[in-house]
């Protein structure tokens, strides 16, 4: 829903501004206008600014303008607006435009005759108005996600008031950082801040991706997940998997230091089912995280997990987990999580110790030691096929109960295993 660089020349009164380079990056959202007065902008921007370069107080050579482009790209600036006229910067050098095109970075040109006070006022007002609409939209969708249901007709009317087209079927997509919740509990404040910063960057990148694909729905945040409404064509539902996989690959390539997973709901006909669709997508992404080899799961792939999630007597599920996993059940200390990850990989790889050790990046002797410790804690032999089946189901049920917050009161204190 944000104002983008491509929309700047279409704002009332700004028709004289021209898009000169980096058109493919035109969907970058503009957070705020900023007038550059120094020979560098690196220390003065935080990302998302539309930076205006006048040349009035500082001579801007081609080399300096290229430097600004590179700094802007590095610091995720939305775009540069270069003012041109006979007195200061007469024209934008071709080399600067070529550099911007190669980086898909937006450069716009503004004549000096167009007063800066008017330009910044128009842009600032547009951003404020858009933010208000965006907050109203997020509040509306958040209410639906949390089960505040209205009649479908009223939901449709409210969506239309907010400029949302809910006529097409859609899937809900949940994107999650690997182990986000566990790392957020870290006692290191710098690590927690870095993780939240990464999640905020991912939210911005996700929003830009939706914008580039012509999807006007905002990205929502629900606990550790980023939630998106993804319009789809029911007649071409098979293409949705390729579409979402390509989108996830784009996000991963932009943030290679993160490990991303995604889950998608069944196709839904209207917003009245948004809450259940979100739940489906979050179950799917939880399955993707648990079975790390496949980063995108659809709800209809979950099979027996859907049956477990539908069982209303959660205490029976919790008892089954405790019977199978012993003291590992519901434990969230580092050692227990390590052992459960080892067990999950071992079961997913059909008990192949060599492949399991390689997937975990440990020596086979280390793996054997962990498996022996697991057998002691669960009081079952891993060589029994029925034991392995029950353990896989128990690990899956445990994740479902965690997701539903059904076992918080039963969590044991951290223990030394």
Mean pLDDT of the 386-394 span: 87
| Helix residue ranges per DSSP H, 28-115 | 62-74, 94-103
Strand partners, 29: 4
Give 382's pLDDT tier (boundaries 50, 70, 90). very high
Distance CA(224)–CA(246), nearest Å, equals: 22
* Residues pairing with 50 in the sheet: 33, 79
* pLDDT in the model for residue 415: 39
* Average pLDDT of the chain to the nearest whole number: 84
Say which residues have a Cβ less than 8 Å from residue 101's Cβ, sequence separation at least 6.
21, 22
Instruction: State in Å, rounded, how far the first CA of the chain is from the last one.
Output: 49
Hey, what are 312's tokens? 């209303």
353, pLDDT greater than 80: yes
Q: What is the pLDDT of residue 409?
A: 42
Tell me the mean pLDDT in the region 184-204.
72
CA dihedral 312, 318, 323, 329 (to 10 degrees): 150
Q: Give the percent of the chain with pLDDT over 70.
A: 88
Query: How many Å apart are CA 63 and CA 52, to the nearest integer?
Result: 17
pLDDT at residue 397 above 50?
A: yes
Distances (CA, A) of 106 to 81, 91, 95, 145, 216: 8, 16, 14, 36, 21
Q: What angle do CA 362, 365, 370 make, to 5 degrees?
A: 75
Nearest-5° Cα angle at 391, 389 to 395 = 125
pLDDT for 411 equals 45
Return the minimum-mean-pLDDT range out of 1-15, 100-114, 181-195.
181-195
Q: How far is Cα of residue 376 from the mean position of the Cα atoms in its chain?
A: 39
Task: List pLDDT tens digits, range 31-90.
Answer: 899 999 888 999 999 889 999 999 888 889 999 999 999 999 999 999 999 999 988 999
Alpha-carbon gap, residue 284 to 172, rounded angstroms: 11
**411 compared with 34, residue with greater pLDDT:** 34
Please report which confidence band the pLDDT of residue 115 belongs to, taking 50, 70 and 90 as the band edges: very high
Q: What is the pLDDT of residue 417?
A: 41
pLDDT at residue 300 in the model? 82
Distance CA 296, CA 267 (A): 16
pLDDT of residue 310: 59
DSSP state of 110: E
Higher pLDDT, 132 or 398: 398
Q: Which of 223, 184, 173, 226 is nearest to 201 (CA)?
A: 226
Q: Indicate the pLDDT class of residue 270, thresholds 50, 70 and 90.
A: confident
Give 227 or 258, the one with higher predicted confidence: 227
Instruction: Estimate the share of the chain in helix, then strand, then coil, as percent rounded to the nearest 5.
Output: 55, 15, 35
* pLDDT over 50 (residue 413): no
Best mean pLDDT range from 41-50, 140-149, 312-321, 406-415:
41-50
pLDDT band at 410 (very low <50, low <70, confident <90, very high): very low
Instruction: Please give the structure tokens belonging to residue 86.
Output: 């006979």
Residue 179 has a pLDDT of 59
- Give CA–CA dist 17/203, Å, rounded: 29
The secondary element (H helix, E strand) that includes residue 170 is strand 170-177
The residue among 52 and 139 whose pLDDT is bigger is: 52
The pLDDT assigned to 11 comes to 93
Across 346-358, average pLDDT:
90
Q: Say how far apart CA 144 and CA 170 lie, in whole Å.
A: 15
- In the structure, what pLDDT confidence band is assigned to residue 291 with cuts at 50, 70 and 90? low
The pLDDT of residue 183 is above 70: no
Residue with the larger pLDDT of the pair 160 and 410: 160
**Tokens representing 225?**
């997940």
Q: In this predicted structure, what is the pLDDT of residue 187?
A: 58
pTM: 0.54
DSSP 300-366: GG-THHHHHHH-S-HHHHHHHHHHHHGGGTT--SHHHHHHHHHHHHHHHTTT-HHHHHHHHT--HHH
């Amino acid at each position: 829903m944000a104002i983008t660089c491509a929309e700047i020349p279409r704002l009332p009164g700004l028709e004289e501004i021209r898009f000169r380079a980096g058109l493919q990056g035109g969907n970058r959202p503009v957070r705020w206008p900023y007038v550059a007065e120094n020979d560098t902008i690196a220390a003065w921007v935080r990302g998302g600014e539309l930076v205006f370069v006048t040349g009035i107080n500082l001579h801007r050579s081609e080399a300096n303008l290229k430097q600004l482009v590179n700094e802007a790209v590095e610091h995720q600036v939305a775009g540069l607006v270069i003012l041109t006229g006979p007195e200061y910067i007469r024209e934008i050098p071709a080399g600067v435009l070529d550099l911007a095109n190669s980086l898909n970075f937006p450069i716009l040109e503004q004549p000096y005759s167009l007063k800066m006070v008017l330009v910044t006022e128009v842009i600032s007002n547009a951003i404020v108005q858009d933010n208000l609409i965006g907050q109203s939209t997020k509040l509306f969708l958040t209410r639906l996600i949390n089960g505040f249901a209205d009649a479908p007709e009223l939901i449709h009317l409210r969506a239309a008031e907010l400029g949302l087209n809910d006529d097409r079927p859609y899937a809900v997509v949940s994107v999650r950082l690997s182990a986000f919740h566990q790392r957020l509990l870290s006692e290191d404040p710098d690590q927690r801040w870095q993780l939240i910063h990464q999640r905020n960057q991912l939210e911005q990148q996700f929003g830009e991706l939706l914008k580039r694909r012509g999807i006007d729905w905002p990205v929502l945040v629900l606990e550790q997940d980023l939630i998106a409404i993804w319009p789809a064509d029911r007649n071409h539902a098979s293409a949705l998997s390729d579409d979402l996989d390509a989108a996830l690959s784009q996000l991963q390539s932009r943030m290679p230091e993160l490990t991303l997973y995604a889950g998608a709901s069944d196709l839904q006909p209207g917003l009245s089912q948004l809450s259940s669709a979100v739940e489906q997508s979050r179950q799917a992404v939880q399955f993707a995280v648990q079975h790390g080899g496949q980063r995108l799961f659809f709800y209809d792939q979950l099979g027996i997990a859907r049956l477990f999630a539908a069982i209303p007597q959660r205490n029976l599920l919790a008892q089954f987990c405790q019977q199978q996993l012993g003291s590992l059940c519901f434990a969230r200390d580092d050692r227990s999580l390590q052992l459960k990850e080892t067990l999950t990989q071992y079961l997913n790889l059909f008990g192949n110790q060599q492949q399991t050790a390689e997937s975990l990046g440990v020596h086979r002797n280390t793996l054997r030691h962990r498996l022996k410790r697991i057998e002691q804690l669960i009081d079952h032999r891993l060589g029994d096929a029925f034991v392995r089946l029950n353990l896989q189901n128990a690990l899956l049920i445990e994740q479902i109960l965690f997701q539903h917050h059904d076992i918080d009161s039963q969590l044991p204190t951290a223990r030394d295993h």
